[in-house]
Amino acid sequence: MEKQKTDKQLWAEALSVFEDNKRAIASSSQDATKFLSPHARKPLWLSRIAAVVVVALLVGGLAWGAVRLARMERTSQPRPVSLDSVIVDKTAISADSVRLFSGERLDSVLQIVGQHYSRSVCFLDDSLGSIRVLARWHVSQPLETFVSMLNDFEGFSVSDERDTLFVTIREGEDGQ
């Protein structure tokens, strides 16, 4: 009859088997590295060079993108337009001439027309001056006719009061 082993003996036997397996695995992995060819192992300096190249490419790409973004922001900012810069050649406007304003800013159009009729121009909202209009102006027609034609546009209203052309925002007919 076999003697029954105690728990302590069973644990000691399991531990010795575990240690034997551990030693066998360690010796086989050391043997395996001996048989590898020198080309199979990557040199450490090659990995470092690759890392430097990747970092240089990333930094260069980020710098290039930042420069492009800065140039785009600088060119997209609108330049302020001064009404004083509009020059009217009074010799070019004869009594029977017709002037076509095609896609010109409202502030430029009213400056030209206002100078012809000896009127100053006052915008009660600065954003109205940047509106582009398409209008035909007969120089011989009265100012009221031109003002009436401009008032047919939506969004703004022009009125002639005390030698001044006033431009205001016109609310929609539905109260907007």
Q: Is residue 46 part of a domain?
A: yes
Residues 52 and 93 in one domain: no
Q: Is residue 31 part of a domain?
A: yes
Choose among 146, 103, 106: nearest CA to 125. 106
Residue finishing a domain among 32, 49, 76: 76
Q: Are residues 95 and 39 in the same domain?
A: no
Looking at the structure, tell me whether residues 59 and 97 fall in a common domain. no
Q: What's the confidence (pLDDT) of residue 55?
A: 94
Same domain, 98 and 115: yes
pLDDT tens string 15-53: 888 888 877 777 766 555 555 555 555 677 888 888 999
Structural domain includes residue 164: yes
Residue 114 in any domain: the answer is yes
- Residues 163, 109 within the same domain: yes
Final residue before a domain boundary, out of 55, 76, 97: 76
Provide, rounded to the nearest whole percent, the portion of the chain with pLDDT above 90.
10
Q: Which residue has the higher pLDDT, 73 or 125?
A: 125
**Which of 9-18, 52-61, 84-93 tops mean pLDDT?**
52-61
**Mean local confidence (pLDDT), 100-118:** 88
Q: Tell me the CATH number at 103.
A: 3.55.50.30
Q: Which of 165, 166, 109 lies closest to 137, judged by CA?
A: 109
pLDDT digits (tens, 9 = 90+) for 144-164: 998 888 888 888 889 988 888
Q: How far is CA 97 from CA 91, 103, 119, in A?
A: 11, 19, 20
- Residue 4 in any domain: the answer is no
Give the tens place of pLDDT for each residue, 110-142.
899 889 888 999 888 888 888 888 888 888 888
Which has more confidence, 84 or 76?
76
Does 70 lie in the same domain as 91?
Answer: no
Q: Which residue has the higher pLDDT, 102 or 60?
A: 60
What is the pTM assigned to this prediction?
A: 0.44
CA–CA distance, 87 with 93 (Å, rounded to integer) = 13
**Where does a domain end: 30, 51, 76?**
76
Residues 65 and 103 placed together within one structural domain of the fold: no
Q: For residues 68 and 91, state if they share a domain.
A: no
Whether the predicted pLDDT of 9 surpasses 90: no
Q: What is the structure's pLDDT at 152? A: 87
Q: Which domain holds residue 70?
A: 9-76
> Both 100 and 151 in a single domain?
yes
Tell me the pLDDT of the chain averaged across its residues.
78
Q: Are residues 16 and 70 in the same domain?
A: yes
Give the 3-state secondary structure of residue 4.
coil
Buried b (16+ CB within 10 A) or exposed e, 79-117: eeeeeeebeeeeeebeeeeeeebeeebbbbbbbbbbbbe
Total domains in the fold of the chain: 2
User: Torsion angle of alpha carbons 100, 105, 109, 111, nearest 10°?
Assistant: -160
Is residue 2 in a domain?
no
Cβ-Cβ contacts under 8 Å for 94 (sequence gap 6 or more): 139
pLDDT higher than threshold 50 for residue 85: no
If asked whether residues 100 and 162 sit together in one domain, one would say yes
